[in-house]
Amino acid sequence: DVKVTQSSRYLVKRTGEKVFLECVQDMDHENMFWYRQDPGLGLRLIYFSYDVKMKEKGDIPEGYSVSREKKERFSLILESASTNQTSMYLCASTSAGERDTQYFGPGTRLTVL
């Protein structure tokens, strides 16, 4: 089975802190994605990566950055957390071959105070 794990299920941070969210997948997938999920807005793409050291902006990249140093790991960084970044963050991965579903991690519920 595909397994996507996220470093934390719940995080509480203060405004202005630097926040790292880690995601690891074990299926050798080339593509990885970071989304945030807010009530009534559905899943919105923040950043994605097609390969190691490659990154592309999604629909809402402002206030975020990412890092992909290894194929299995994709990190989301909040340089200076703000209260409007309180959300559920979801990581997903998929292969680069024939189009396939994205496999999601369990999510990280981030609260910024």
* Phi, then psi, of 84 in degrees rounded to 5: -75, 0
From 11-19, 36-44, 61-69, 74-82, span contacting other proteins (CB under 8 A): 36-44
Shortest Cβ 80–other proteins spacing (Å): 26
85 binds other proteins (CB under 8 A): no
**Residues near 36 by beta carbon (within 8 Å), at least 6 away in sequence:** 43, 44, 46, 60, 85, 87, 88, 89, 90
Closer by beta carbon to other proteins, 48 or else 64? 48
| Alpha-carbon gap, residue 107 to 25, rounded angstroms | 13
**Which positions lie near other proteins, rule CB under 8 A?**
4, 31, 33, 40-43, 45, 48, 50, 58, 90, 94, 96, 99-107, 109
